[in-house]
Amino acid sequence: MKSALPPPSSIVCVDNNIVFKAVYNPNSIVIELFDKLILERSCILYSTEANLRRCQEAVERKILHLVEKLLRKRDPRVEHVRQFSFIMDALEIAKGKIRKGKKLKELNQNEAFKTFTDELIDYVRNFVLQRFDFIKSFLELKDFAFYKAKFEDAVSILRDKEPDNEDANILALALTLHEQENKPVYLWTDDNDFYEVEQILKGYGVIPFKRVEGIELDSLMDV
């Protein structure tokens, strides 16, 4: 498994796991992704529209799950909630809506919590959308029609049995780009499914590499 970055001017396909981590925890890899590959090495980064949609949904689910855990006591004043700025921002917005709608003494605790929760969900979804728009601006996105001729080959190579075929989508894109450009295509991934068939992939001109630094997702979810 390679840990070194691709050479300058390389074609790089970015696996959905990497995009997920870039959006969920920007401090983990986003500087590496943009500064090293794009600015310093002039690489072109690709992903698929299908995987980006799945990533967006997955990040939103993860963050909302985290919010649910944080708010289990229904008390946004507790210290473990205060460390999350987006929760406190949403709380201030909710307070403003409550003040405009009713006098505080007329609003019971359940109504106040519902207002806060609704506002927080909207805030989280907008946050995820903004992060994805930022990440997408650095990626060349291809739809299924672009790489569909290589899709079954990708499924066969990976022996991919997942119904959503996330891995097969990005591999089919890499195979297509290799065929069109006649040069190695680097696949940035930390998914073991690709490394289990690494030697096979190299025969198709696709070279997986792993370069993920910073806080890992599991530690973030341990709240």
Paired strand residues for 152? none
Pick the residue with more confidence: 35 or 119? 35
Q: What is the pLDDT of residue 32?
A: 79
Integer angstrom CA distances of residue 201 from 190, 195, 207: 15, 9, 7
**Local confidence band at 127 (pLDDT 50, 70, 90 cut-offs):** confident
Per-residue confidence (pLDDT) for residue 116, from 0 to 100:
72
Listed range (28-37, 102-111, 156-165, 181-190) with the worst mean pLDDT = 102-111
pLDDT at residue number 77? 57
Asked if residue 112 has pLDDT above 50, the reply is yes
Q: What is the pLDDT of residue 217?
A: 39
Coil, helix or strand at residue 155: helix
Q: What is the pLDDT of residue 48?
A: 96
What's the predicted TM-score (pTM) here? 0.77
Write the CA distances from 192 to 1, 50, 200, integer angstroms.
10, 21, 14
Q: Mean pLDDT of all residues in the chain?
A: 80
User: In this predicted model, which residue has the larger pLDDT, 68 or 47?
Assistant: 47
Query: Which of 10-14, 129-133, 161-165 is least confident?
Result: 161-165
pLDDT, residue 118, reads 79
End-to-end Cα, the chain, rounded Å: 32
Measured CA to CA, the distance from residue 201 to residue 194 in angstroms comes to 8
